[in-house]
Amino acid sequence: MSIRLKLALALCLLISYQACLADLIFYPLQHKTPHELSPTINELLQAGESVIAGPNELILRLEPRHVDDIKALIHRLDQPSHRLLIYVSHQRQLNQQSQGYGGQAQLQTGFHSDTSLQGHITIYSTRDTENDQSKQSIHVLDGHTAYISTGVSQPNTSTEIIQHNAHAHISSNTYYKERSSGFYITPRLSKDSVILDISPWSEQTPSNDGSSNFNRASTVIRSRLNTWTELSNVNQWSAQGSNKILGQTNKTRKNSNSIWIKVVDLDTDLNN
């Protein structure tokens, strides 16, 4: 028998011997799920040891000298997740301003070379302001992903007429287009702050010309608890002007969209 074969057989016998000595442990969990903890525990096990995620418990095969250490680790990891309340605010402000002047003149010529000039000038200035604000909130556990969406589904119907000889076939199809606001978010507590992986969006009702405003963002930030934090701010400006012989018009438009977020820890007493 070769030396390599002897070494391989000796190793197999050693592993089988260690497996026979290993303890089989059923460890019930109080707060976390077995699937949450089993990957972390598995990374720390020695050769010949194993962990399986049961229905409500971890099933472990451990060497006797590692049992206390692994149990202490599981107890440390099996802690209740904090309940978090997340607020997201979408704010939109639209300012439109028009100013200028316009004039009219009329030249009248009569008999005996009588001529008169009449006219008037109008000066105007208008300003329109629109403010829209929507707030959403949702409860989620620390480390888990939450999703919320609210809005309307607007039906759109298309009609098709197919003419064939003296017969006409009419068919219609209705589809829905959603206009909503909401967000995906995954919070992770870090002492007195929170790390947020968030993707919010907001869509406005179409205007008379068929266009609609929307605001989307996707980012990872760190925010202090119980404090409003600005996530994004988009400002758009436009200006138009025209000149005439007896008039001038200037129009300005400013559209501002911002997203704010605040996270409240409902289980701060768990830190004590």
Q: What is the pLDDT along the chain (272 residues), one digit of tens a residue?
A: 566 655 555 555 455 545 455 678 899 999 888 998 999 999 988 888 889 998 889 999 998 888 899 999 999 999 888 999 998 887 777 777 776 655 555 555 555 555 555 555 566 567 677 677 778 888 999 988 988 777 666 777 777 777 777 777 777 787 767 677 778 889 999 888 999 998 877 776 555 555 666 667 788 889 999 999 888 777 777 777 776 665 667 777 777 878 888 999 998 776 55
Predicted local confidence at residue 74, as pLDDT: 92
Distance of alpha carbon 57 from alpha carbon 29, whole angstroms: 5
DSSP assignments along 119-176, one per residue: EEEEEEEEEEEEEEEEEEEEEEETT--EEEEEEEEEEEEEEEEEEETTEEEEEEEEEE
pTM exceeding the 0.85 threshold for the entire prediction = no
Burial class from Cβ neighbours inside 10 Å (0-12, 13-18, 19+) for residue 85 reads middle
- Of residues 36, 84, 13, the one with CA closest to residue 265: 84
C-alpha–C-alpha distance, residues 87 and 141, integer Å? 14
3-state secondary structure at position 272: coil
- pLDDT for the residue 208: 54
Pairwise CA distance, residues 83 & 160, whole Å: 53
Residue 173 region by backbone torsions, left for phi larger than 0, else alpha for psi between -120 and 50, else beta: beta
Predicted local distance difference test score (pLDDT) of residue 183 = 81
Which pLDDT score is estimated for 104?
57
Residue 36 token pair: 């949450």
